[in-house]
Amino acid sequence: MTITSDETAITNLLYRYAEAMDAGDLNGAADLLRHADIILTDGDSPIGADDILDIWNDRVILHHDGTPRTKHVITNVIVEIADDRHSATARSYYTVLQQIDNHPLAPIIAGRYHDVLAKVDDVWRFAQRDYSLVDLVGDLSHHLAMGPASPHSADS
């Protein structure tokens, strides 16, 4: 068994989310958020994993290959572990790229994630994810079946 640092385990969790979304594995992405309070817009009450999965199933366009044809690029990850070593925060940037038939590769949305994490039974998991921090929005028309509930697609 490979032993990883808490910081690496948390960063890997961020990357596993991106990997699941890009693979079109909406259930897998929602499972990573199973224990999290999910903030879609500033000031609204948090929702849960089943709610976000319903939103994704209604809105995210999966193309001929079963994926949204996206690549979530996660950068500038800052992980801060609490003194108790059982809670942490992570801040990161995301840029979502998309390429579909007859359209060039293009960035479609960029922003920041602010996450709260909890270590339970020696495994890090999301306790809160904030999707409200959208900085740049491009052409989401090939990514979402209808307009997002907020300026953010709740998928990025």
Tell me the residue type at 74: I
In this predicted structure, the answer to whether residue 147 has a pLDDT above a threshold of 70 is: no
Which fold does the domain 6-137 belong to in CATH?
Nuclear Transport Factor 2; Chain: A, (3.10.450)
Q: Does residue 155 have a pLDDT over 90?
A: no
pLDDT at residue 149, as a whole number: 47
Give the rounded percent of residues in the chain with a pLDDT score beyond 70: 92
Residues in the chain: 156
Task: Identify the pLDDT of residue 66.
Answer: 97
For residue 11, what pLDDT is reported? 97
State pTM to two decimals: 0.90
5 versus 1: which is more confidently predicted? 5
- Where are the chain's structural domains? 6-137
Residue 152 has pLDDT above 50, yes or no: no
